[in-house]
């Protein structure tokens, strides 16, 4: 029986975002956006310092990145803003050539990201193994915690009880009610306490002056010449790659937390669009912010684009309208929030003794190496690349050992059948040539490949070398059992690789 046609009103209701039809979702998204906006302010200012620009530049970038990606991004509820990774990449360009070149590099970096997204760079995420992903998450948690250490050293003693009080509020307040996010309660309570009691501790205002007006669009102040392009292109490409790596890894992490899928290609192109918009508004560029995303998704429970949009919108409202109030927020309150995020992010199950006993040594090595490289370089992208390459080497070595050769000589001694099992590729085929008795075998040799698959040119070259060695002794070789793809590759390359072997 055909389903009844929906009325126009019903169709319109179906197109409504969740937050318009559900007051609980609406409330959660608004409060999550507010908490994230508060947490973004000191981070954006800190990253501005790393890049060597005015604090307002980092705050403008966080505003434009979040708002733009709430519309064009591929992962709902993910937060993108000015980040330390991008600041580290483009900071040297600003110091050597000036702010105009930095802005031009951000715009070009956005163009590169759109091109990379269109070319399908997001599909490379399938090659990131689980052990690298776990290492990435744990390294992220460590970096978030390490970033708070400077805020806890050489500070007045009241900072420490304030941090402990903030953590206690975030642990116990959800037992009372979850209507208001515990981090927001913690920030408000600690701010009221320090202001009312006149406690002298570092505040957001000590990090730098907040902007007093909205950013104005304009072109970068650089000569539009080939020399400018060659100067900014390497920085722009590095920024594009680092930004996409962090954003796609963060999107994958949010996918796992929320049990939903996201459009990684759309996210890649969206990151590019957001950086172009940010550049034209004089921002320093950015990418997905993992710490703030965890506040939004894991701690506050946000799931829609509204929280991302409001994080950027609230950021500007807080800076421009409520600047004096925001400046009085003690850094201890925000440090407590980020410490809580680091504990929530760390995958404690991955280092439990029972887990480590069951895990293969190679996967533990990959996870530890990923963490070590990220923590040493403070660059998540480098850690992921090193971890993934190591995982591939470990996998290749493991699979190579599975390739085996067994020989059966006919009773009459006229022929020998070698049966090859396992996968033949560059790592396993290197030893294949040594597994045959060229001198003592009978005149007819059969190589049965029905229990294997030929994957690459190295394997075909190894088979050619075996045939050549037997031919030099006047013996014939018959290769049997090739499946269709292996047979096609063998026909295509056999006899053509002698010079390369």
pLDDT tens by residue, 278-328: 999 999 999 999 889 988 998 888 999 999 999 999 999 999 999 888 889
- Predicted TM-score (pTM) of the model is 0.74
Would you give the DSSP letter of residue 124? G
User: Which of 183-187, 269-273, 392-396, 443-447 is the least confident region?
Assistant: 392-396
Q: What is the mean pLDDT of residues 468-486?
A: 92
Range 398-403 contact pairs with CB under 8 angstroms and sequence separation of 24 or more:
398/362, 399/423, 399/425, 399/427, 399/428, 400/425, 400/427, 400/428, 400/431, 401/428, 402/428, 403/428, 403/429, 403/431, 403/432, 403/452
pLDDT of amino acid 380: 73
Confidence of residue 501 (pLDDT cuts 50, 70, 90): very low
pLDDT of amino acid 500: 43
Q: 476 to each of 87, 96, 248, how far by Cα in Å? A: 65, 68, 53
In 3D space, the residue among 60, 53, 65 whose CA is nearest the CA of residue 99 turns out to be 53
Is residue 1 over pLDDT 50? no
pLDDT of amino acid 79: 96
Partners of 422 in the beta sheet? Answer: 452
Q: What is the CA radius of gyration of the chain?
A: 29
Confidence of residue 5 (pLDDT cuts 50, 70, 90): low
Are residues 383 and 246 in contact, defined by beta-carbon separation less than 8 angstroms? no
Determine the Cα–Cα distance for residues 266 and 286; give it in Å rounded to an integer: 17
pLDDT of amino acid 3: 46
Is residue 12 over pLDDT 50? no
Residues 6+ apart with CB under 8 A from 135: 366, 367, 368, 369, 370, 371, 374, 383, 387
Mean pLDDT estimate for the chain: 87
Is residue 205 over pLDDT 90? no
Q: What is the pLDDT of residues 61-117, one digit of tens each?
A: 999 999 999 999 999 999 999 987 788 788 889 989 999 999 999 999 999 999 999
Q: What is the pLDDT of residues 32-74, one digit of tens each?
A: 999 999 889 888 887 887 788 888 999 999 999 999 999 999 9
Residues 6+ apart with CB under 8 A from 91: 50, 51, 52
Q: What is the mean pLDDT of residues 197-207?
A: 90
| Pairing label, strands 404-409, 444-454 | unpaired
pLDDT of amino acid 429: 82
Determine the Cα–Cα distance for residues 158 and 332; give it in Å rounded to an integer: 9
Q: Residues for the chain: how many in total?
A: 501
Q: Does 134 or 277 have the greater pLDDT score?
A: 277
pLDDT of amino acid 20: 62
Are residues 128 and 388 in contact, defined by beta-carbon separation less than 8 angstroms? yes
Q: What is the mean pLDDT of residues 177-198?
A: 89
Confidence of residue 119 (pLDDT cuts 50, 70, 90): very high
């Amino acid at each position: 029986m055909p389903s009844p046609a929906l009325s126009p009103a019903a169709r319109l209701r179906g197109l409504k975002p969740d937050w318009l039809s559900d007051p609980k979702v609406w409330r959660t998204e608004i409060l999550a956006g507010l908490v994230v906006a508060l947490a973004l302010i000191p981070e954006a200012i800190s990253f501005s310092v790393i890049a060597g620009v005015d604090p307002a530049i980092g705050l403008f970038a966080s505003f434009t990145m979040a708002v733009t990606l709430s519309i064009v991004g591929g992962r709902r509820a993910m937060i993108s803003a000015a980040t330390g990774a991008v600041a580290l990449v483009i900071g040297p360009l600003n110091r050597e050539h000036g702010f105009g070149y930095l802005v031009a590099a951000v715009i070009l970096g956005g163009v590169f990201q759109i091109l990379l997204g269109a070319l399908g760079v997001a599909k490379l995420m399938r090659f990131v193994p689980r052990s690298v992903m776990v290492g990435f998450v744990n390294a992220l948690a460590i970096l978030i915690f390490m970033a708070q250490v400077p805020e806890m050293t050489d500070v007045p003693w009241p900072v420490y009880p304030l941090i402990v009080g903030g953590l206690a509020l975030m642990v116990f307040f959800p037992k009372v009610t979850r209507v208001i996010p515990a981090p927001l309660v913690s920030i408000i309570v600690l701010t009221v306490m320090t202001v009312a009691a006149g406690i002298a501790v570092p505040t957001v205002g000590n990090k730098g002056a907040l902007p007093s007006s909205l950013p104005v669009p304009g072109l970068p102040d650089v000569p539009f010449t080939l020399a400018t392009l060659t100067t900014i292109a390497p920085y722009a490409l590095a920024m594009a790659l680092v930004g996409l790596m962090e954003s796609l890894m963060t999107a994958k992490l949010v996918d796992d937390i929320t049990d939903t899928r996201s459009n990684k290609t759309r996210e890649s192109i969206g990151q590019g669009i957001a950086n172009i918009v940010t550049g034209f508004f004089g921002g320093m560029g950015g990418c997905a912010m993992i710490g703030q995303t965890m506040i939004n998704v894991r701690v506050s429970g946000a799931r829609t684009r509204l929280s991302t949009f409001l994080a950027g919108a609230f950021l500007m409202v807080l800076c421009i309208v409520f600047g004096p109030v925001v400046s009085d927020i003690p850094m201890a309150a925000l440090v407590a929030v980020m410490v809580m995020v680091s504990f929530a992010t760390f995958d404690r199950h991955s280092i439990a003794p029972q887990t480590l006993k069951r895990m293969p040594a190679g996967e533990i090595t990959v996870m530890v190496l990923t963490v070590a490289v990220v923590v040493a370089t403070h660059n998540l992208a480098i850690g992921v690349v090193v971890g993934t390459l190591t995982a591939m080497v470990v996998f290749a070595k493991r699979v190579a050992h599975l390739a085996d050769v067994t020989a059966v000589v006919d009773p009459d001694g006229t022929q020998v059948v070698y049966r090859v099992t396992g996968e033949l590729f560059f790592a396993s085929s290197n030893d294949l040539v040594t597994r045959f008795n060229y001198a003592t075998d009978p005149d007819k040799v059969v190589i049965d490949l029905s229990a294997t698959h030929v994957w690459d040119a190295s394997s075909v070259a190894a088979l050619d070398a075996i045939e050549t060695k037997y031919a030099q002794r006047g013996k014939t070789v018959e290769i049997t059992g090739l499946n269709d793809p292996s047979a096609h590759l063998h026909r295509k390359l056999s006899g053509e690789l002698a010079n390369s072997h």
